[in-house]
């Protein structure tokens, strides 16, 4: 499950892995991110926005770690989340598209605050609608990305196929080594 909030949280992976950069300090990365999630119409990305985005990532990372430890979100994190959610007031618009009706959300204002509200909304929606036990950290020690396990029996340990095959190959090799001794 591709989630806006996970993309922001997992962006910190690049800080400690080659070629070492912080995506949230890279205006092009941020512009691509906004485009991907349909948030490109909230003005040009400014340096102050990048700092605010980094602060938002720290907040979401701390909240996610709290959930991963099995705890309930602290009062502090819940009120911080509500502060962010209030930044994105919206109304609904009904449209007829091709052969069906569709209800769209439109923000009542535009600006960077909407971007922040939407990212946090993606996290709040996840914990409201989905199974918290399925929010996991990838077991590949070089990855440790946060992901949502949507598999049938909730047994997935890896964020994606790349990590899954990497670990399988590694386990196979270590078993081969053991067999040789």
Q: Does 146 engage in binding with Zn ion (CB under 5 A)?
A: no
135 binds Zn ion (CB under 5 A): no
Write the DSSP assignment of 126-147 as a string of letters. HHHHS-GGGEEE-S-TTT--EE
* Residue from the set 45, 120, 124, 159 that interacts with Zn ion by CB under 5 A: 159
Q: How many residues touch Zn ion (CB under 5 A)?
A: 6
CB of 17 to Zn ion, least distance (A): 12
CA–CA separation, 62 vs 122, rounded Å?
Answer: 16
CA atoms of 168 and 145, how far apart (whole Å): 17
Measured from the CB atom, the residue of 6 and 145 that comes closer to Zn ion is 145
Is residue 56 within 8 Å of 8, Cβ to Cβ? yes
Interface with Zn ion, residue 163, by CB under 5 A: yes
Helices and strands: H and E segment counts in the chain: 6, 4
- Residue of 138, 146, 149, 167 that binds Zn ion (CB under 5 A): 138
Q: Is-cis flag, bond preceding 19, omega within 30?
A: yes
Using rule CB under 5 A, residue 167 touches Zn ion:
no
Q: Give Cα 119 distance to the centre of its chain.
A: 8
Based on CB atoms, which residue is closest to Zn ion, 11 or 140? 140
Among 135, 143, 146, 167, binds Zn ion (CB under 5 A): 143
* Chain residues in the site for Zn ion (CB under 5 A): 138, 140, 143, 145, 159, 163
């Amino acid at each position: 499950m591709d989630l806006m909030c996970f993309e922001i949280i997992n962006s910190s992976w690049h800080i400690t892995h080659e070629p070492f950069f912080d995506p949230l300090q890279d205006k092009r990365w941020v512009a691509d991110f906004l485009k991907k999630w349909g948030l490109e119409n909230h003005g040009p990305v400014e340096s102050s926005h990048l700092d605010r985005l980094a602060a938002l990532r720290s907040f979401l990372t701390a909240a996610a770690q709290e959930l991963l430890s099995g705890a309930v979100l602290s009062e502090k994190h819940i009120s911080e989340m509500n502060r962010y959610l209030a930044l994105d007031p919206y109304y609904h618009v009904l449209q007829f598209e091709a052969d069906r009706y569709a209800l769209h959300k439109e923000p009542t204002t535009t600006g960077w605050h909407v971007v922040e509200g939407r990212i946090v909304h993606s996290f709040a929606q996840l914990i409201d609608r989905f199974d918290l036990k399925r929010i996991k950290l990838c077991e590949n020690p070089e990855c440790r990305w946060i992901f949502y396990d949507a598999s049938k029996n909730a047994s997935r340990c890896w964020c994606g196929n790349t990590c899954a095959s990497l670990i399988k190959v590694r386990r196979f090799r270590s078993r081969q080594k053991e067999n040789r001794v």
